Structure formats: C-alpha cells, structure tokens
Chain A
C-alpha cells in the first residue's frame, strides 16, 4: 500500500489473486533456482494461437512489459520476466501453455 491508501497494480494482484502470488513468492524464496526461471508460451497449446481471443497471462502478469501481446498473440519478454509463474497459474488453456524453463535453457527457447 502506498501512504495514500492507493493500490498499485501489484497490490491489486496480491489482494484479488493472493494465493497465486503468495505461492509464486514462496517458491521464489524457497529456491534461488526458480528466481532464474522464465516463462515461455508454447504456441501449440495457447488458445490465442487458435484465433480465439485469450489474453489472461498478459492481463495478470505483475511485471510491466514482461508479457506482451503481439497481433493478438502473447509473448514473454525474457529480460523482464521475473519467473513468478503467475501466468502459468492462471493460464486457462486445457493443456497449460506456459512452460517455466531454467535460465540456462533460455537462449534455446523462443
């Protein structure tokens, strides 16, 4: 909370979607490794790639610019992704379209 009682976007997420965020934070604390993981959208599972509108991951990502929508398709900006995995938690695709990969693998995944 800011001194004026205003909520930041992050606070909104903490408030409304507390569980997902706490889970993500807890796992970040518990494992230094996970801090290095990044989200990757798998096009073959992603609903937006089927010409169905879906922007859930983008809407709920707490890091400005980490998830972008390009012509309707979500994409992770790896340099901004903190690895919090909220996008994975909220992805409504029948087979989850977000894969969390280790930082080392990052170069190999687009």
Chain B
C-alpha cells in the first residue's frame, strides 16, 4: 500500500442487470455502461451525476458487493473480484440511507459487532469505538438503540462504522443526503478532514458539495463518464457562462454606444450589451476572466458619469458543465 499512487483504479467498468426473474429474462438494464477513473491517493474524488446515472452501482462493484459484467477495478491495489477479502479489509463504505445498522442494538453494540467482523482485537475495538463516537458527537447517545436515532444520527453512525477499522480508503454514497444544512456542513467538514490520511471516493448529486469537497470529479450520466477533471478545469471548459452584470444609476444617454465599444475592446471581453432600464442602464458582459473584466470595466466607467448601483459576477457552475456535456439540465 505504501508505494501506491492510486487508491482506486476503475477501468471500463460495466454492469448490466438482467430484467425479470432468475429464469425468465426480459432484456437488460444497463446501469453502468463504461466507466473509468482513478482516485489518486490522499484525495477526495467525486462521482457526480443525476438519479439513476449508475453511481451506486459503480460503488457496489468497487466495494465487492457486485461483480462487474465487464471491465476491472482495483482498490488499494487489490482486484475487486479475485481479491475481494483484501479489498474489504482496506475499505470503509457508507451506503447511507436508513438501513444497514442493527436497529435493536445500541450504537456502541453495533460498532463492537462490526469491529469483530473486521477482525479487530477487543482492545482496539473498545478504543476506536470510544474515539469515533466522540468524533461524530454521538457519545451521549452511544447506548441508545439505533432504531430511535434520527436520519442524521444514523448517517454519522454509518460514517463511524466505516472508519472504525481505520481503512486507508473510504467510499461514501451520497453521504449528506437527508441531512439538514447545518448537519451537512458538519459532515462535509469531517470528510474534508479525512484527507490526506485516507483517500475518499464519494458520490453526490449536489454540485456545491462536489465543488467544495473534491479535488477531482467525474461527471456520470447514463452509465458513462461524460467529463472529468478538477472543478476549475471542468468549469473552464464551459464557454459563455462567465458573465459580469453591472447596473448603473444613469442611463448613459447618447453615450451608450461609445461605452459599449470601449468595453468591447477590453482584452478578456467577448461581447457586451447595454440595455436602458427604468432608472439607469444594464451592462451585460460575457468574458473569459471575470476578475480582470470587472477591474477594467470599473476603471473605464469612472470616465463617464456613471454611478454603479449593483455588480453581479456570474461564474459557471458544475450545473453549467453538466448542461454543456450532457446536453440537458441536471435532474
């Protein structure tokens, strides 16, 4: 593991679900068509995509719950099909949702049980259980039955369970789903703190979450990776989405054309349009670099009788990225 550059390698993963029963086949569902990506060690990597894109299916293949129909994957350097036990040992998984924990057992008993299943010694189980419960703030409820926990508490307990045996790699399926904004922020902070000690693969359909947390993102749609890169790289690929909108108090009577020409001549600007409004004017500028455009435009406007009412800078979001690569909007 020490020399490993990549925590997870996925190459041309494909997964087809047979429809119908065990014996009667009625066509297939292609959940994952062809997905390849690599998670560098010590980073957070995001799979971003709409409902039904194949994120969970991909994760199940990586975590040995499903066998790929084609392609292969390695987790911590171990093949997910042939070396499944080794993979499980090096992996912590949060499948999320309401299920996956024993409702009739307390939080502590759940963790102790799973600790045993991961082969930990009694000593380390006791110590880690205490530490982890403390970390996610469940110490006070540790001896309550899990069935009485709220969604958010269960989700935190899921994370605790996944971290219990201190795996080098974590896979999180929509970790913040169903959490209130404050709890989601807490959990995101906890995830961000996992690197570089751990490597994390997470799925989400929350753009901001992906943007905030992930070093790299693969955007998945209909079982395929449609774009991949750092959030900044991805966003830089979308053209026409970067805008600066300035509203002035003056109407720029008669000089609108002159202003338009002057702004249009600025280097990062692609196009500009000026529209008179009720009391003032609206300048919408499409550009490649919002910071420089803003700077230059503001100093240019100082030469005219134009007092500025509002300034809006619009950077492309991952939503725009999805729109541009998938040809339709998200969800």
The finding on whether chains A and B are genuine partners in a shared complex, rather than unrelated, reads: no
